[in-house]
Structure 1
Amino acid sequence: MLYWITMLLLCQWLGELAATASGLPVPGPVIGMILLLAFLLWRGEEPPDLARVADGLLNHLALLFVPAGVGVVAHLALLQAQWQPIAAALLVSTVATVLVTGWVMQRLMRKRD
């Protein structure tokens, strides 16, 4: 199990390294997840120990939102000053997500039938 925790951290570290070195506007953890996906596709199966590690992380996912909540409280004055653009961005992105998800679902349902 320690091996897979190390692999997850290594993928994230390599992703951060690649994001910093390339200057791409993509977060390092996203690149790390892509690296992990490539590794798992190459391997051809999901190792049971990796599944247990991932389940353990997902069970405690709420703890990972604590730093984000602290960041919101730390920048409360900025959020109060810029609430209109933030609200507009949240509204537009939510509507766009719902529309795109519905469109993709319709396309996939047509292909299935």
Structure 2
Amino acid sequence: MLYAIAVLFAFQLLGEFLVRVSGLPLPGALVGTLLLLIGLLFYKRLPKPLEDTAQVLLQNMMLLFIPVIAGVMLEFGHLRREWLPFVLACVAGAAITFTATALTFRFFLQRQRTLQSSNKDNDERTPEQEQPA
């Protein structure tokens, strides 16, 4: 687990470094996460310690939001003055996330059905059908 946490922090640190050096208008944690994704795509598998650590983090995700919520409460006066853009951003962000999730889910369901039907077609062929004429 220590290995996986070190890897996660290393990628976040690398992302922070790249943002500061390049001046990208993105959060360093996001850049680090994208670098981790690219690394895992090249590695072509998820290491078991990283998977286990990610599972623990996901199970305790609400604890990770406490500092964010506290930060929002510290800026409550600013939010009171600028509530409309905040509410619009929250609603639009939720709508975009919901739509992207639904479209992704639909894509993978259709892909799974296509794969299942092609496997079913292959299983139903008789040996005479598979031999060249």
TM-score (norm. length: structure 1): 0.80
Distance in 2 (CA, whole Å) between partners of 1:8 and 1:72 is 25
Counterparts in 2 of 1:75 and 1:45: CA distance versus 1, 3 Å: same
1:49 Cα offset (Å):
1.2
Q: Is 1:2 aligned to 2:40, yes or no?
A: no
| 2:40 partner letter | L
- Give unpaired runs (5+ residues) of structure 1: none
Please state whether the residue corresponding to 1:30 is helix, strand or coil. helix
SS in 2 for 1:45: coil
- For 2:64, the equivalent position in structure 1 comes to 64
The more displaced of 58-67 and 33-42 is 33-42
Name the structure 2 match of 1:30: 30
Distance 1:73 1:11 in 2: 29
Match of 2:39 in 1: 39
**Coordinate RMSD, CA, aligned:** 2.4
Q: Greater CA radius of gyration, 1 or 2?
A: 2
CA distance in structure 2 between the partners assigned to 1:105 and 1:45 by the alignment: 21
Instruction: Give the aligned partner of residue 107 of structure 2.
Output: 108
Structure 2 unaligned segments of length 5 or more: list them: 115-133
Letter in 2 for 1:7: V
Higher deviation after alignment, 74-83 or 10-19: 74-83
- State the partner residue of 1:78: 78
Distance (whole Å) between structure 1 residues aligned to residue 82 and residue 7 of structure 2: 40
Distance in 2 between residues matched to 1:66 and 1:25, nearest whole Å: 25
Query: Separation in 2 of the partners of 1:67 and 1:13?
Result: 19
Give how far 1:106 is off: 9.5
Pair 1:100–1:10, CA change in 2 (3 A): closer
Q: Please give the alpha-carbon distance, in whole angstroms, between the structure 2 residues aligned to 1:2 and 1:50.
A: 9
Deviation at 1:23, TM superposition (A): 0.9
Residue type at the aligned position of 2:67: P
